[in-house]
Chains A and B, each alone.
Chain A
Amino acid sequence: MVAAAVTTAAFKWLDVGEGPVLVTLKKLFPDAESAPSFVTVPVSCLFVVSVAVSEELAYRGGILAYILRVTRKSRTLTWLGIILLNLPWALAHIPNTDNPLAKVTQMMVLGIVFTILAKNRSMRSAIAAHVGLNLASMALAYGFGV
């Protein structure tokens, strides 16, 4: 919730706009925004939750455990592996905004936080945190239009 609020405020301050994928999707689905909220809110909730679970399994799942196993003897190598693991995840989110640097920075920080949660707690903690972040961001978008 805090992460969603902080990043939303930072993006507002940096005047970060929507990326090419969101702009194109809006052109392909021009009437979607006028759809009743009792339809869009549950559909969006289901979508962001399923995406969060899939992404956490993919990025903080088996690959992270493999990195932890093979780099067990060197803390430096473990952190290098964690950074390399989160890089494709951050790069994959570039098309969501029109400011690639801000987006990559945001996703790298969030990715490392989720990784620490998965590493020190459990995969379920990372999944819960990711689902919480996505739902909070969605609530800010629907509730306050940000």
Chain B
Amino acid sequence: MAQLLEIVPAMLQLALWCLTVALYFVLGLLNRKHIAKRWKPGLVLSAVLLAMLVPSAVFGAFYIDLSSLEDVAYVGLAVGLCAGIVIQLVKFAWNIMLFGVAEAEWNRTGWGLSLSRQQKANPT
């Protein structure tokens, strides 16, 4: 039981990550026209971020100690790590939407408080 409790924080992280994905999915649906038009910058950003994570995956694969997987908690964590790799691949697609949503929303907001400054500069 105590060993299973060790993986609870990782589960919490996963749940919160799923919550942000769900929020972005809703915002992505609301901004789908903008994302359809401007998906290329998101694709480039996603490719760069994914490429940056590759060395960590190679490093991890080289140094992992599989003997510790006899422990239940480590099996849980290893499953989590495998899920993490799948999540990173999903994130590749998700980052495209994430960038698109961020850009579309910031454009709609007028980049936060700078809207009032923009309105002052261009009252029309």
Q: Which residues of A approach B to under 8 Å, CB–CB?
A: 19-21, 24-25, 27-32, 35, 39-40, 42-43, 46-47, 49-50, 53-54, 57-59, 61-66, 68-69, 88, 91-92, 94-95, 118-120, 122-123
Contacts and interface: CB of A to CB of B under 8 A. Distances in A.
Closest 5 CB pairs of A and B: A95-B9, A61-B102, A65-B105, A62-B101, A50-B52
A65 B24 CA distance: 12
Contacts, number: 126
B113 interface: yes
Main secondary structure of the interface of B (DSSP, over half): helix
B120 to A, nearest CB: 15
A43 to B, nearest CB: 5
Interface of B: 6, 9-10, 12-13, 16-17, 19-20, 23-24, 27, 31, 45, 49, 52-53, 55-56, 59-60, 63-65, 68, 73-74, 77-78, 81, 91, 95, 98-99, 101-102, 104-106, 108-109, 111-114
A62 B105 CA distance: 5
A20 B52 CA distance: 25
A61 B103 CA distance: 8
